[in-house]
């Protein structure tokens, strides 16, 4: 492998998601990011020009870059989560372009669940509306560490500083009730490219960075939990070949902490102890491994370990419980069934569970708790569940990977809810 490739592979990866109401210009903004950072291939560009011409558009419709479904193009809205990948000399990026419509909130939750940063778009003419609040609340609920509030369509307000300041103060007033650690405000025009990649000449009053500068330079190294060692086992590797007659490794993705060969570890649920013999990766043995690396661990002792078990440190164990309190985003047409039975998936473990109690539902606009116990599609509420097997978890605020669950309908195998353990 030449050094150029190696440098590219070792570049830091930023995952970000877009959120905002319908027609706020999310897809146009991503198209603009890709276009101005020269991340579009010539043939894509030609197709884009051709399609825009057929639709009778003035100039190039950049939103078409991410709207892949035919119904999206026809309606001019985003329905599905579109993932786009691009890179600059400083960083690699994965964008999840999520829908703005209220009926697709569940898709927004899906796209946001792994993001380091959320781009929250606000139309400069409409200001902070219900969907803005809903998406800010979901971003806070999913513990997305950084939020960039892009106030779009500034060209339609004559690049007014007053309009920008008003929206900024309105959003800050609402966000003060939420757990959002890091917020940045950027006035932009996605259509014209103001403050997206290049600085705007129309807004000399704005002294902050452009959106691209923020994406390239924001610090994300501390977003992963490097304190609590968590390694859920996904697969036991036993090649039994002539080259490796006695190889026995445990493969999975590290969900927290730092592991090194020689470390003493405990295996849950059995409680057996052992030492790490070696940590194998695609590129050979590693001296240390940390979140979010995928590795294969070998231990000095032969212990019965299977999928769903977790390798941790003796003095730093997760919570081991069957009764769990969860905040859920409901994603299914069928409402939640009190005392209903569902399959629960957590890290690499699968079990069955029963809904013991629906505590409350949250009113997105006011953030008040509603006594109403019915939770349906796109609702967010708090429930308590009991599982058939103990789960090994941390609270979601401490570790996003070991604190998240999904509920699956046993009859249809549909994902019914995404949950954050409290």
The predicted-structure confidence for 350-400, as pLDDT tens digits, reads as follows 999 999 999 999 987 778 899 888 999 888 899 999 999 999 999 999 999
* Architecture of the domain whose range is 319-421: Beta Barrel (2.40)
Question: What letter would DSSP give residue 256?
Answer: B
Those residues whose C-beta lies under 8 Å from the C-beta of residue 355, and which sit 6 or more positions away, are 336, 337, 338, 339, 340, 342, 383, 385
pLDDT-derived band of residue 291, with 50, 70 and 90 as boundaries?
confident
- Segments of the chain assigned to CATH 3.40.50.300: 3-222
- Segments of the chain assigned to CATH 2.40.30.10: 230-312, 319-421
Helix (H, G, I), strand (E, B) or coil at 365: coil
Q: What is the rounded distance in angstroms from the CA atom of residue 50 to the CA atom of residue 278?
A: 55
- For 301, the token pair is 């002792």
* Percent share of the chain, pLDDT over 70: 90
The predicted-structure confidence for 303-318, as pLDDT tens digits, reads as follows 999 999 999 999 999 9
Residue 139: is its pLDDT beyond 90? no
The predicted-structure confidence for 193-228, as pLDDT tens digits, reads as follows 999 999 999 999 999 999 999 999 999 877 788 899
Helix (H, G, I), strand (E, B) or coil at 352: strand
**420 to each of 198, 272, 312, 326, 387, how far by Cα in Å?**
38, 29, 21, 5, 15
| Contact present, 375 and 336 (Cβ < 8 Å) | yes
The predicted-structure confidence for 265-285, as pLDDT tens digits, reads as follows 999 999 999 999 999 999 899
- For 385, the token pair is 């569940």
For 230-312, CATH number out of 2.40.30.10, 3.30.365.10, 3.90.950.10, 3.90.1170.20 equals 2.40.30.10
| Contact present, 98 and 66 (Cβ < 8 Å) | no
Class of domain 3-222 (CATH, top level): alpha beta
Question: What letter would DSSP give residue 189?
Answer: B
Q: What is the rounded distance in angstroms from the CA atom of residue 159 to the CA atom of residue 166?
A: 13
């Amino acid at each position: 492998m030449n050094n150029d490739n190696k440098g590219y592979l070792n570049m830091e990866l930023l995952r970000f998601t877009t959120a905002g109401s319908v027609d706020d210009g999310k897809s146009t903004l991503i198209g603009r990011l890709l276009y101005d950072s020269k991340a579009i291939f010539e043939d894509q560009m030609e197709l884009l020009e051709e399609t825009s011409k057929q639709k009778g558009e003035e100039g190039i419709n950049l939103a078409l870059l991410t709207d892949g479904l035919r119904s999206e193009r026809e309606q001019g809205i985003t329905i599905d989560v579109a993932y786009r990948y691009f890179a600059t000399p400083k960083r690699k990026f994965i964008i999840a372009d999520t829908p703005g419509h209220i009926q697709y909130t569940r898709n927004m939750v899906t796209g946001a669940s792994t993001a380091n940063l959320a781009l929250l778009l606000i139309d400069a003419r409409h200001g902070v509306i219900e969907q803005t609040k809903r998406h800010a609340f979901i971003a806070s609920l999913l513990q997305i560490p950084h939020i960039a509030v892009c106030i779009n369509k500034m060209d339609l307000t004559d690049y007014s500083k007053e309009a920008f300041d008003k929206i900024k103060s309105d959003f800050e007033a609402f966000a003060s009730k939420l757990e959002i650690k890091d917020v940045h405000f950027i006035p932009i025009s996605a259509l014209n490219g103001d403050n997206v990649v290049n600085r705007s000449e129309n807004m000399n009053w704005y002294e902050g960075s452009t959106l691209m500068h923020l994406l390239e330079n924001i610090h994300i190294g501390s977003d992963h939990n490097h304190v609590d060692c968590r390694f859920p086992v996904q697969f036991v590797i036993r090649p039994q070949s002539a080259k490796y007659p006695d190889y026995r490794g445990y493969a999975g993705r590290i969900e927290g902490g730092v592991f090194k060969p020689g470390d003493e570890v405990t295996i849950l649920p059995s409680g057996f102890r052992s030492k790490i013999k070696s940590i194998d990766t695609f590129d050979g043995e590693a001296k240390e491994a940390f979140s979010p690396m995928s590795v294969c661990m070998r231990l000095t002792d032969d212990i019965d370990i299977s999928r769903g078990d977790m390798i941790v440190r003796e003095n730093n164990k997760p919570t081991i419980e069957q009764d769990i309190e969860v905040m859920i985003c409901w994603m299914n047409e069928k409402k939640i069934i009190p005392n209903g039975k569902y399959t629960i998936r957590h890290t690499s473990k699968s079990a069955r569970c029963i809904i013991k109690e629906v505590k409350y539902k949250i009113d997105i606009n006011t953030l008040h708790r509603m006594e109403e116990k019915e939770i349906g599609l796109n609702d967010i509420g708090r429930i308590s569940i009991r599982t058939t097997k103990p789960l090994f978890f941390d609270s979601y605020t401490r570790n996003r990977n070991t604190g998240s669950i999904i509920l699956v309908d046993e009859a249809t195998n549909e994902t019914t809810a995404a949950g954050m353990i409290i």
